Amino acid sequence: MNVLGFDYGSKLIGVALGNRITGNVRPLGVATNGERGPDWTRIETWIREWTPDALVVGLPLTRDGEEQKASVAARAFARELERRYALPLHLADERMSSVEASRRFAARRAQGAAKKKHAATIDAIAAEVILENWLSHQP
Q: Are 115 and 87 spatial neighbours (Cβ–Cβ below 8 Å)?
A: no
The model's confidence at residue 29, banded by pLDDT at 50, 70 and 90, is: very high
Q: Are 61 and 68 spatial neighbours (Cβ–Cβ below 8 Å)?
A: yes
Higher pLDDT residue, 113 or 78?
78
Q: What's the pTM?
A: 0.85
Which helix (H) or strand (E) is 7 found in, with range?
strand 2-7
Q: Where are the beta strands (DSSP E) in 11-77?
A: 12-19, 25-32, 54-59
Q: How many CB atoms lie within 10 A of CB 95?
A: 16
pLDDT digits (tens, 9 = 90+) for 1-15: 999 999 999 999 999
pLDDT digits (tens, 9 = 90+) for 98-110: 766 667 667 766 7
Q: Which residues contact 80 (CB under 8 A, 6 or more apart)?
A: 38
The fold adopted by the segment(s) 2-136 is Nucleotidyltransferase; domain 5 (3.30.420)
Per-domain residue ranges of the chain: 2-136
Give the pLDDT confidence score for residue 99 in this predicted structure: 65
